[in-house]
Amino acid sequence: MKEAQLIRKQPDSHNYKQATVERPDIPNHLDRQFIVDGPDQVWCGDITYIWAGHRWCYLAVVIDLYRRRVVGWAMSDSPDAALVTKALSMAYEHRGKPSGVMFHSDQGSQYSSRQFRQHLWRYRMTQSMSRRGNCWDNAPMERLFRSLKSEWIPATGYAFFA
């Protein structure tokens, strides 16, 4: 592959930390029950990074577990609460302002921030968080990002980020 200057698309394996501690104030309501009966019952969110314009940019995505479709997203040069709040707001507006949705994510500081939690409260959503360091608790998002990075994003990233 080196001689032919080929670059593989599959990412390297990653060793995740194993832990069993949950946030007592935001329990894991989803508990890996990834099959739901209808749309706008459970949404999942996460952040990934993408190389663009000689720097990292960050992509926050919200999917509806019913069809595993992206319902909201946002990009920024900073992985902060504003980024995930913008993705949530896009999903909320795009899906017709549903209420009673459970929003599941990992324990990233963005998702436990006051700004994000206030939006969940305003939208009448229940928050659920994975156990710390347990990627399997948010497997649909991890699968989406793996497909995105191995099938859609060029291995060398993008030339610019506007």
The region of weakest confidence among 48-52, 98-102, 146-150, 151-155 is 151-155
User: Residues 106, 107, 111, CA angle at the centre, nearest 5°?
Assistant: 90
pTM tops 0.85, yes or no: no
Is 156:51 a contact under the CB 8 Å cutoff?
yes
Q: Which of 66, 140, 71, 128 is nearest to 103 (CA)?
A: 128
> What is the rounded average pLDDT of the residues 72-88?
96
Domain ranges of the chain: 43-152
Q: pLDDT at position 16, please?
A: 46
How confident is residue 12, by pLDDT bands cut at 50, 70 and 90? low
CATH number for the domain formed by residue range(s) 43-152: 3.30.420.10
Between 77 and 8, the higher pLDDT residue: 77
Q: Is 74 helix (H, G, I), strand (E, B) or coil?
A: strand
Q: 27-36, 118-127, 131-140: which range is least confident on average?
A: 131-140
Question: Is residue 18 predicted with pLDDT exceeding 70?
Answer: no
- Contact between 76 and 82 under an 8 Å Cβ cutoff? The reply is yes
pLDDT at 33: 81
What per-residue confidence (pLDDT) applies to 2? 79
pLDDT of residue 25: 73
